[in-house]
Amino acid sequence: MKCTDELVSSFNRSWKRFSGTLKKARTDASEKSVHDLRVNTRRIIATLELARVLSNRGDIAKVQRRFKKVLKSMGPLRDVQVQLDTVSRLRRGAVIGKFIRRLKRREGEEIHRIQNALKRGRKRRLAAEMKQLGTEFGRLHESLDGERIHRSVNRVLSGRQNEFSKAKRRFDRLRPRNEETLHVMRIALKKLRYVVEALEPVLGPSAKAQARQNACFPTIDGRVS
User: What are the residue ranges of helices labelled H in the chain?
Assistant: 3-27, 31-55, 59-73, 75-87, 94-117, 120-140, 146-173, 179-198, 200-203, 205-213
- C-beta separation of 145 from 9 below 8 A: no
Amino acid residing at 196:
V
Judged against a pLDDT cut of 50, whether residue 62 lies above it is answered with: yes
Q: Does this model's pTM top 0.85?
A: no
Average pLDDT over residues 74-88: 87
Give residue 141's pLDDT. Answer: 61
Sort 40 into a burial class: Cβ within 10 Å, 0-12 / 13-18 / 19+: buried
At 182, phi and psi to the nearest 5? -65, -40
Residues 112-162 have pLDDT tens digits of: 888 887 776 778 888 888 888 877 776 766 666 667 777 787 888 888 889
Average pLDDT over residues 2-9: 68
Average pLDDT over residues 204-222: 53
Give residue 212's pLDDT. Answer: 53
Helix (H, G, I), strand (E, B) or coil at 88: coil
Average pLDDT over residues 13-20: 91
User: What percentage of the chain exceeds 70 in pLDDT?
Assistant: 83
Judged against a pLDDT cut of 50, whether residue 222 lies above it is answered with: no
User: What percentage of the chain exceeds 90 in pLDDT?
Assistant: 13
∠ Cα 139 145 43 (to 5°): 65
Residues 164-202 have pLDDT tens digits of: 999 989 988 887 777 888 888 888 988 888 888 887 776
Average pLDDT over residues 52-79: 86
- Distance in angstroms (rounded) separating the CA atoms of residues 75 and 78: 5
Give residue 79's pLDDT. Answer: 87
